[in-house]
């Protein structure tokens, strides 16, 4: 039921019609992989920017977190 509804909604979307015609065989693969990899690169660039802009003190503070816990860190 929900699959049918989804199908109806998608069929009414112009963009979807374009994508679905591309995905009927492997020829459309180029477009899909380009879209998919673009998603990844957008995410990757956002993460890279945020990492580059990160203050060194914050990175130092974060990486030391496991060593700041209770007495369990003592040598046994």
Q: Which residues are at the interface with other proteins (CB under 8 A)?
A: 3, 6-7, 10, 19-20, 23-26, 28-29, 32-33, 35-37, 39-40, 43-44, 46-51, 53-55, 58-67, 69-73, 76
Q: Which of 50, 52, 22, 17 is nearest to 35 (CA)?
A: 22
CB of 75 to other proteins, least distance (A): 8
CB of 52 to other proteins, least distance (A): 8
CA distance 27 to 16: 16
CB 59 within 8 A of CB 53: no
Element housing 53 (H / E): none
CB of 14 to other proteins, least distance (A): 15
């Amino acid at each position: 039921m929900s699959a049918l509804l989804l199908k109806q909604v998608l069929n009414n979307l112009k963009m979807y019609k374009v994508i679905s015609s591309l995905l009927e065989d492997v020829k459309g693969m180029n477009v899909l992989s380009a879209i998919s990899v673009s998603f990844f690169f957008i995410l990757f660039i956002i993460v890279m920017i945020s990492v580059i802009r990160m203050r060194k003190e914050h990175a130092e503070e974060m990486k030391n977190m496991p060593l700041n816990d209770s007495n369990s860190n003592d040598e046994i």
